[in-house]
Chain A
């Protein structure tokens, strides 16, 4: 059997004004980390990453294709220009060509096309001088040594941009240069992958934010379910999962869990009430039996027989005590008992218990004391806790060695309010400690030690009702029994110093 540390054990963050901001930041960080761990978020991110890689590849490839396309297109334009010129008036003499080109350019709309006509001596017959100089320099052509200049198709990338030109030798030794600055076209083409890239980025950011939104929504609902289940496991039997307005898979999961919890509750209640009702139903026949025996014993003149009958009556009283204990246990376990949680003077409670059990302790030569440290102010039901501590003291006195010591104390440990009974007897092995709290378990099967085996079960039920549990620990030597009550909130300082 395992003892829960109670609801919300390690979840509670340190409060207080100073600890608030770091606490909130830590919570936020934890929340982000948990968010990154959710399935839907990871799936979204994986799909997003694949999409980005594919799109980036496609964008780069399409850019190369587009540049090639532009260049091919311009080459074709230049070739067509030269071909047109050849058909229009031939490419024999530079002066005639220069006239024809001037005539054609007057008819043509403004284009990024540039045409130069140079005669055999390298003189510029057509074209603007400054621009012609820059153009020829870009083509690495010195007009003074025209024959050394390359002809045919030339691609150049320079400071001024990217130049594509077709240099055609003329019949008289001159040159016809038809050139095209493709930089503006390339600039336009470059924008296409850029736009696509921005589109992808926007898409990615959108998908991330959708991912975060859906994941945190999912996470919130999973968290709510986990939190409700933890609280149920911690003892809050009325806790259920809140079903939202949306009729989705979480709603149906929540409904199923709630149905299961209802069923668990019903079973728990049946189990604990069945013992109570058996005890209750048997009381009437037991009353009759007791009364008959008493009547017979009264009118019995035979002394030995009368003693036997009185033994029988005593036996019915024992059964009655056992019934009472079973019913009391059921009453506490199902929280049907009257309970008032009030501030409790632990020192006075322990002192009254000590006084009640002192005669018994003295009989066994056992020193029964209340620990000397100041007892804190606790919260609990005085009657129930009196019973619980009394049961522990009773056990300690029964099992403690003669001449031993039993010490009662109250304390706050790790934020929990605790009432402790420590003895220096034989103690219990870890295995025995687990068995000890079970109903009807007795360490003395011979039955020479009086009791009904429900004492610790009742203590445990009372501690659980207070929001804690019963802890059996090693006192090295002996047993330390701890009744853990609720969490100790910030309450007034200790009321009394214990004697």
Chain B
């Protein structure tokens, strides 16, 4: 991936750059909004990491200027992490929003999702298949090796998210945001509990196991 990191805090920006390079991704940096717009006009990127509080033009203003133009997907990375901030960021055109402080793994997974979605032409279809697991979305039916699997609404939603990104890591926070919506912070590890139940249904009686736990980050299917 070619990543543009727009961040005025040098320590954070250096750290992200080092980690991205370590994961085999190329990075360019901008310390303010105007610099970011200049680089976006000159070079091609797969994804942009955008801080909100920036000198010259702040992140929201950058999003506003990008609106309506062809631009790579933008992940807003900000200490402004209240629900209203997230809603404002996403409404302004951000493709994802991550609050500070953050796990690099979480950031990397989200950037990879954005970059892949950007490169992919069509949205996942009505029938999703991962190995011998098949999901018919309109019919709300899941089978493995032809055997019907009965899922609750939440389990179905979680499996749908995982099957839409086969082989890709999906973080716990991403699952929570997508299955329960922004603004819900459970006091308990609800995602783990539901994924545990889901695993019992899709993997227990079948081989090989499809649902993998990615330690301390999230899950991947297939």
A contacts, CB < 8 Å to B: 280, 283-284, 286-291, 294-295, 310, 316-317, 320-321, 324-325, 327-328, 331, 336-338, 352, 355-360, 363, 383-384, 386-387, 390-391, 394, 450-452, 455
Contact = CB atoms under 8 A, between A and B. Distances in A.
A337 B84 contact: yes
DSSP majority for the A interface?
Answer: helix
A327 B79 CA distance: 11
B82 A331 contact: yes
Interface string B81-94: 11110010000000
Contacts of A324: 81, 99, 185
Given A280-B79, A295-B15, A338-B87, A316 B101 contact: yes
Contact of A287 (B100, B152, B182, B188): B100
B104 A291 contact: yes
B140 interface: no
Contact of A390 (B11, B99, B154, B184): B184
Given A287-B100, A324-B81, A359-B197, 20 more contacts: A283-B100, A284-B9, A288-B12, A290-B102, A291-B104, A294-B103, A295-B15, A321-B185, A324-B99, A355-B154, A357-B190, A359-B193, A360-B193, A383-B183, A386-B180, A386-B184, A387-B183, A390-B186, A394-B188, A452-B187
27 contacts: A283-B101, A284-B100, A290-B101, A290-B103, A291-B101, A295-B15, A310-B216, A316-B101, A317-B103, A320-B101, A324-B99, A327-B82, A328-B185, A337-B83, A337-B84, A337-B183, A356-B186, A358-B152, A360-B190, A360-B193, A383-B83, A383-B181, A386-B184, A387-B183, A390-B186, A394-B187, A450-B187
Contact of A450 (B100, B153, B188, B196): B188
B83 A360 contact: no
B178 interface: no
Contacts of B103: 290, 294, 317
Nearest to A357: B190
Nearest to B80: A280
Interface in B54-106: 79, 81-84, 87, 99-104
B180 A294 contact: no
Contacts of A352: 153
A355 B197 CA distance: 12
Contacts of A337: 82-84, 183
